[in-house]
Structure 1
Amino acid sequence: MTIAPKNEAKAVATTGALKVSADKGKLTTVTVQDDKGNPVEGKLTADGTSWEPLRHLAGATKYKVHAIAKDAEGRESAKDTTFTTLVPKNTFIGHYTPEDGSTVGVGMPVSINFTRGITEPEAVEKAITVTAEPSVPVEGHWFGNDRLDFRPEKYWAAGTKVTVKLNLDGVEGRPGVYGEQAKSVTFTIGRSQVSTVDASAKTMKVVRDGKQIRNIPITAGAPSTTTYNGQMVISEKYAVTRMNGATVGFGGEYDIKDVPHAMRLSTSGTFVHGNYWASSGTFGSANVSHGCVGLRDIRGGGNNGTPSAWFYNSSLIGDVVIVKNSKDKQIAPDNGLNGWNMSWSEWIK
């Protein structure tokens, strides 16, 4: 019987180095554990002569191997070895959203941004599992080499519990660069809320659990600064925030230090937010914004009874806001958490 790597080997590779083989006869038992007693799952070949782990090993970790083989005469032999995996000099982690323990809207994807560009995407994606209860197929999609999002084909069902396991410790994401994360994250899908902005009609219909609960007058992007069309997911919420046109390509056209009830829809700066500087007659009758969706509000925000305050308090991160009938293009799926703008066939290819 042969166990690779050899006994007491050091700086062992986390992938491809561990293998147990029966020179004569068949393997009857193979157990591999790390120094904390966690088992390593493996697979025995159909003929029983070889065993390999199903996944990569963790870095800087000592492992124990115990194997038993039986020959044609029924005689058993056992072998025990230890080895230690390499200590990575260069590492990466994944910054993920949503947060552990959070309750989010039906459009919330799992989005992971890696601290290093990944050149081995299959290995990294294999090290991450996303499961749902009730069960639904969930697939990953790469945006460039440093962002991996997961979602189902359609919006999550209300009440779904989602578990994300980041088994990145020891996975080689690019030559000589290894993951150092081993983490489990769970979050829950709240009630369903999908709001549809009609930029032409200048309204936003809010649908909760399949029933329309409000129709709010809005102002969308002006003719020269139209609002993107498409399905957008609320990724951040700010009771009050500063909006400076210089940060999103509008120079000194505006700098408002106290925008109330702001919720981000895109990385490039699309928000649905309160607007206290336009006259109340603007909402529902004119599109005057720089591309955001504006709702009537008053200065200072708070629970003030305005449509904007109501919508802010009624919304979760992960809720969907759909914009239609705007004289603009569809938002790019990687501009925010907006992968829903890709068909399922595009997403999984």
Structure 2
Amino acid sequence: MKGSAFPPTLRRVGVGLVGAGLLLATACSGTGADTAGAEGDGDPVELRITPEDGATEVRPDSPITVTAANGTITDVKVEQAPPEGQAADASAEEGGAAELAVLTGTLNEDKTEWVSDWTLTPGSEVTVTATAEGADGETAEVVSAFTALPASEGQRLELVSNFPMSDDTVGVGMPIIVNFDLPVQNKAQVEAAMEVVSEKPAVGAWNWFGDQMAVFRTEDYWEPDQNVTVNLHLAGVQASEGVYGVENYQIDFTVGREQITTVDNDTHQAVVESGGETVREFPISNGNGSTRAYTTTTGVHLTMEKYQHLVMDSATVGIPEGHPDYYKLDVNYAVRFSNSGEFLHAAPWNGSLGQANLSHGCTNASTEDARWFYENSLMGDPYIVTGTDRELEVDNGWGYWQRSWDEWLENSATGEADATDEPGTPGSPFGIPADAQASPVSAN
């Protein structure tokens, strides 16, 4: 995939998703009514669906359950018609509409129970057609048609922005960051609806920073040179009381080569390694350390964005014009690595590169070295600073690697690691158990 390494703005990415789990073969045509299988030598097949046929205002976070007695389930098909006035998968990328129309489910080992994997689109008209086969080869089919509760105005959870964006190529340390328009209280359910799928094995988990931003990080860096897909099955998830997701989204990005930079505050040197080999080493000058603000943060940073030219105004970090320490500089080849104003950038005025730390907190480099770093950096490359007495905060920029894996997992709402090379997620996106639903519809 091709994409800018450092997008200048955020955008919302929305497409229809296919959930993980077993999708049975195409169903027989629905009859529009319950039909019983013919009675053979044994007991007839009993096939039941919940929610019940004709139900209205079914909670979108209710699972669909199909059960069979005296036989096995051979097919389940779920169709969702969007609410009136809402086009089917209006925001989907090309090819996504067909996927959105499919709601998948998981069949148990003895093929007697099928449960949907994901929640229902609020306000949709849902038709479930299920078939089962008895030991004598006779079949039964049952249809349940019902309507999902719509999401009220002002209570519709939507995705506002995300990093990375579809088609981006990123570094091996890149987290997945999603920002919502409304607070999320049911964090475990929302986590369970956000599926991360990678080509190469990894283990990861979500953490929350506030009620509107969720961040997925792997235990170790991503393996390089692979594609990652994020399936946000948000339609129907109850994020907070009465607040439902209304749309599904998909983000596809590529993890590029492995590049890790280490900056030693004591030796005033930066070393860049790619694939375990040193590809660049150059002198630098870090923050002078006269104040906390002028001390470069130590820890595992990630490169976040870059500018060929940038005006650095200290007023943006709390030092206003008129203050003795006020500065306003025009800099070239600036690569950001925190939210507290830290960049690696060209500083041709600094005559102490490799000798002393004289900056206001940034990493100064020669124009040649800064240009090389700018041209060879991807968003999400690890940028490790050592030797200062100011520790990078976990929420300062993308300081998420500052948390140990054990701490990261403890801060996940589900509390479980997610194997990204396998479909599905830990936990459940449903807010209502199957046995709490309305009476089922059955054929026997």
TM-score band w.r.t. shorter chain: 0.7 to 0.9
Matched, 1:331 2:392: yes
Matched, 1:186 2:252: yes
Range that drifts further, 52-61 or 106-115: 52-61
**CA shift for structure 1 position 75:** 6.9
Question: Counterpart in 2 of 1:259?
Answer: 331
**CA shift for structure 1 position 123:** 0.9
Which of residues 94, 100, 104 is equivalent to 1:41?
104
Which of residues 317, 325, 343 is equivalent to 1:271?
343
Which has the larger share of strand? 1
**CA shift for structure 1 position 255:** 4.2
Question: Counterpart in 1 of 2:440?
Answer: none
**CA shift for structure 1 position 10:** 3.3
Matched, 1:320 2:382: yes
Question: Counterpart in 2 of 1:231?
Answer: 300
Question: Counterpart in 2 of 1:97?
Answer: 163
Which of residues 53, 59, 63 is equivalent to 2:122?
59
Check whether the contact 1:25–1:69 (CA below 8 A) recurs between aligned residues. Answer: no
Question: Counterpart in 1 of 2:404?
Answer: 343
The residue matched to 2:56 in structure 1 has which SS? strand
Query: Which whole-Å CA distance do the structure 2 matches of 1:340 and 1:177 have between them?
Result: 32
Give the total of aligned pairs.
337
Which of residues 50, 57, 61 is equivalent to 1:15?
61
Q: Which gives a bigger RCO, structure 1 or 2 (Cα 8 Å, sep 6+)?
A: 2
Q: Which runs of 5+ in 1 are unaligned?
A: 298-305
Query: Which whole-Å CA distance do the structure 2 matches of 1:308 and 1:69 have between them?
Result: 66
Distance 1:259 1:50, change over 3 A: same
Check whether the contact 1:27–1:67 (CA below 8 A) recurs between aligned residues. Answer: no
Code of the aligned partner of 1:219: S
TM-score (norm 1): 0.87
**CA shift for structure 1 position 50:** 5.3
Distance 1:62 1:152, change over 3 A: same
Which of residues 78, 86, 109 is equivalent to 1:32?
78
Residue by residue over 1:200-242, the C-alpha shift from the partner in whole angstroms, topping out at 9 and shown as x without a partner, is 1111111122111222111111122211100110111111122
Q: Which runs of 5+ in 2 are unaligned?
A: 1-46, 82-87, 89-97, 411-444
Question: Counterpart in 2 of 1:177?
Answer: 243
Which of residues 248, 251, 266 is equivalent to 2:317?
248
Range that drifts further, 72-81 or 251-260: 72-81
Query: Which whole-Å CA distance do the structure 2 matches of 1:106 and 1:69 have between them?
Result: 47
Question: Counterpart in 1 of 2:420?
Answer: none
**CA shift for structure 1 position 64:** 0.9
**CA shift for structure 1 position 345:** 1.3
Distance 1:82 1:205, change over 3 A: same
Distance 1:336 1:6, change over 3 A: same
Distance 1:57 1:315, change over 3 A: same
Which of residues 364, 375, 380 is equivalent to 1:294?
364
Check whether the contact 1:104–1:190 (CA below 8 A) recurs between aligned residues. Answer: yes
Query: Which whole-Å CA distance do the structure 1 matches of 2:393 and 2:371 have between them?
Result: 28
Residue by residue over 1:259-305, the C-alpha shift from the partner in whole angstroms, topping out at 9 and shown as x without a partner, is 211111112222222224x33x22112212222111123xxxxxxxx
Check whether the contact 2:118–2:233 (CA below 8 A) recurs between aligned residues. Answer: no
TM-score (norm 2): 0.69
Check whether the contact 2:394–2:400 (CA below 8 A) recurs between aligned residues. Answer: yes
The residue matched to 2:203 in structure 1 has which SS? coil
Matched, 1:160 2:226: yes
RMSD across aligned C-alpha pairs, in angstroms?
2.5
Query: Which whole-Å CA distance do the structure 2 matches of 1:217 and 1:47 have between them?
Result: 65
Query: Which whole-Å CA distance do the structure 1 matches of 2:140 and 2:171 have between them?
Result: 57
The residue matched to 1:154 in structure 2 has which SS? coil
Residue by residue over 1:28-76, the C-alpha shift from the partner in whole angstroms, topping out at 9 and shown as x without a partner, is 3543222377333334567876543232112232211113467899875
Query: Which whole-Å CA distance do the structure 2 matches of 1:195 and 1:118 have between them?
Result: 36
Identity %: 35
Distance 1:82 1:148, change over 3 A: same
Check whether the contact 1:131–1:138 (CA below 8 A) recurs between aligned residues. Answer: no
Check whether the contact 1:242–1:255 (CA below 8 A) recurs between aligned residues. Answer: no
Check whether the contact 2:51–2:58 (CA below 8 A) recurs between aligned residues. Answer: yes
Code of the aligned partner of 1:343: S
Distance 1:80 1:340, change over 3 A: same
Code of the aligned partner of 1:342: R
